[in-house]
Every structure is written in structure tokens, then in C-alpha cells.
Amino acid sequence: MTGPSRSYPLTAEGWTPEVFTELLQTGYPGTAVTGTTLIERKLYGDGMVSTAGRLVFDLDYQGAPADLPRRMVVKIAKDAQAAPLYANEVAFYTRLRPELEIEAPRCFGGSFDTETSTFALLMEDLRDRNISFPNVTVPVSLDSVRDVLNSLARLHACYWCSPRLSGDLSWIQSHMRGQLHEFFHTPEMVPSMIAELVHTIQFKREMVQRLGLTIDQLFDGFRAVQAHQSRLPQTVLHGDTHVGNTYLLPDGRGGLLDWQLFASGFCLHDVSYLIATSLEVEQRRLHERELLTYYLERLREYGVADAPGFDVAWTEYRRAAVWNVYIGWLTTPVVNYGWEITVMAHLRVMTAFEDLETKKLLAAMG
């Protein structure tokens, strides 16, 4: 939600009981926070922090319902540059999350301020549920990937070609419309940042050279694929399904977090990025067709009678690999996740781009 101008604090010290109370009442009117204890802070530059910081607090309440956790995570802004991402994630958690029946974090209050480009999301601490958080530096099992694919299939099936996307959910941005589209497609914005990172960071530069394409050619290919896939059946996407944005519950269910890029689009966008980042190169080569088949089966089981056949899905899966390279990881400074995760992620998505002969598909699109 948005409301009267309110600059949300960018440091832990600004998070007083009064600020918490104001935020909490966006979701729980009548509940007040009477005391706060800072447990943990993760801000930009601390590692494993990308575009938003995280603060963990224990809160004392007055008038709180029984299901309100005492320990909360507050997600806060880094700077105004990522404002379109912040506004979009607040919209997800405050407007769409309440109706979803998939595994995603619970949100207890959220707001974005348009004047200051600050935001705040008050969320459960997933660690209280003994959840595990995979990343590219640790082995991820095929069963774990299937669990997350099942969650994606359930999400995609729920909104598959839904008339709501042009009705009461028309506020959801698409890959071809809205602030996110402008953010990623306007040459002076994200493309300029990517060009600077590739120019100044040698490993990014040499990885791009290995593909035999220029940054401008990758940009053109990314735009061509997004335009093409916008003409295919549309649904609601997570939008940023690299393995670091997933989690696994003890009972095996897979969850999805960090919804800053959620949008309407074509389903293979999510599937391609998840598989490319989750598995070691050899595991992906051996099992990606099987995993794609599994996803399509689950999509049909959740009620999508006109789910794409394997051949169509395979081609779109391969096309989607350009986003994984160009927006997925060339945008990412090393400081966000450290060298090991950053290099491993680049290696996986760029090797997949080569294996899948995405370059040939882009050339054929003209």
C-alpha cells in the first residue's frame, strides 16, 4: 500500500515502537508495539544482501492476535535507485499474497512511500520454521527442485490466461508494461549499469566474450524474447526464481521469497531460471528435460488443459536463458553475494545459454 508521505528508516536505530506500530496497523489495525529488541542486521555490503536490507527484531505487543509472531524481519530500502522493485514487492505482499495458496513468507504489514522511495515489509522470520535456504555453492537435490517446480506450477495454474489479469488484477505489471519494464528496458537505466559492470569487472567481461555476443546483442535478444513471450499464454510469475530466492520446509515443500520482480508473463521464464541456477552443470544437462516434463505434468494436474506441449516448452525454455544471463546475473555487483556465489551463478547460467544454443534461437528471431 501507499499512503501519506512517511520516510521509513534505513537503519535499525530508527525503528522505534511507534514506527513499528504504524507499519503493523497496515495489516493489523488496533495492535500496538510497546517494545523492540534488535536481534540481527543485514545491510548492503554485509553479504547475502542484494537490493534491500533486513533487520530482525523481537517485538512486544499490546492488543495483538495470538498468531502474531514475536520475532519479525523488517525488509528495508538500500537507496532510491531500486524504487520500482520496492513498490512492486509491497504490492505483491499487500495485494496478492493474501489470496495465494502457495508457500511464501507471511507478511504482517507493508508500505511504500512514493516521495522518499523508502519502503518496509514486516515479515515472519522463516528460520523459526526450520527452513533451509539453498544456494549455488551447495548441492541441491532433484527432489528439492521438483518441490519448487510444484510450487511454481500451482502459482502459474491459478492465473493461467485468467480474465482477472485484465480485470481486478490489471494493476500487476507485465514484462512489457509498467515501471519494471521501463527499469530494465530503458538504455539509460539497468542496461547502462550492466554495460558498466561488464566494462569494469574482468570476469563478467570475459564470460560475455565467451558467449560470442556483445552486451548490445544480449540486450536486443532479451527484449526480443520478452516481446515474443508476451504473446504466449500469460500468468502470474515470481519473476526472479534463482535458487537463492527459494527455500525448503522440513516436510519437503518448496517456497518462494523475494518477490520484487513478480509480474505477468510466460511460465517458462520462471522454470528456466530455477533449473539453470539450482543444479550443477552436469546435473542440469542430465535432468533438465525430465524436470521440464515434470513441471508440465504438474501444470496439467493443477487444471491447465492447454498447457504447452514439450517441444514448444523446450524451445521457450531455451529462449528464456537470455534473461537468466542478461538481467539475472550481469546486473549483480559482486558485493551483493560475494565472489563465490556470483561467479558460480554466472558460470551456471552462461553454460546453460551455450548448451541450449540460445544464441542460435536469438539469431533466428531477427
On the question of pLDDT at 105 being above 70, the answer is: yes
115: cell is: 516521495
Residue with cell 497496515: 26
Contact present, 156 and 237 (Cβ < 8 Å): yes
Q: Which pLDDT does position 280 carry in this prediction? A: 98
For residue 1, the model assigns a pLDDT of 47
Mean pLDDT on 155-163: 99
| DSSP assignment string, 82-103 | GHHHHHHHHHIIIIIGGG--S-
Answer whether residue 215 shows pLDDT above 90.
Answer: yes
Q: Which three cell numbers stand for residue 83?
A: 524504487
pLDDT of amino acid 50: 60
Domains and CATH numbers, the chain: 12-128 (3.30.200.20), 130-365 (3.90.1200.10)
Percentage, residues of the chain above pLDDT 70: 96
* Chain centre distance of CA 314: 22
High-pLDDT (> 90) share of the chain, %: 89
The Cα–Cα gap between 270 and 242 comes to: 9
Q: Is the pTM of this model over 0.75?
A: yes
Average pLDDT over residues 290-310: 99
Read off the C-alpha cell for 58. 523481537
pLDDT of residue 2: 45
What pLDDT does 329 receive? 96
pLDDT single digits (tens) 127-151: 999 999 999 999 999 999 999 999 9
pLDDT confidence of 42, banded at 50, 70, 90? Answer: confident
pLDDT of residue 47: 53
Q: pLDDT at residue 211 above 50?
A: yes
Which pLDDT does position 243 carry in this prediction? 98
